[in-house]
Amino acid sequence: MAHPNHLRSLRRLAIAGFAVLAAAGSAAAQAPAAPPQPDRSLGLVSPVGGYALMAIATMALIGVSLLPSKRGHQD
């Protein structure tokens, strides 16, 4: 079956595009990349504050869960 000319040109364009993308992908994979440098300001933050906040929130949740329900005399 013969393809119309516009489909042939579209097919050639698609093949050329895939070839360019494949070449660019392999070239980018071979380029040496410098590892990211860690942020120095994060070293000054202690995780103790987060742990304390988590402990307070857990105690509050358990405390609210253990509160007795206030039922009326009609229950």
What is the chain's pLDDT, residue by residue, as a tens digit (75 residues)? 556 666 778 888 888 888 877 777 666 566 677 888 877 766 666 788 889 999 999 999 999 999 887 776 665
Cα 65 → chain centroid: 34
- From the list 75, 55, 53, 71, the residue with the least C-alpha distance to 63 is 55
Domain-by-domain residue ranges, the chain?
1-30
Q: 3 Cβ partners below 8 Å, 6+ apart?
A: 11
**End-to-end Cα distance, the chain:** 84
Alpha helices (H) along the chain: 5-30, 48-66
pLDDT of residue 71: 74
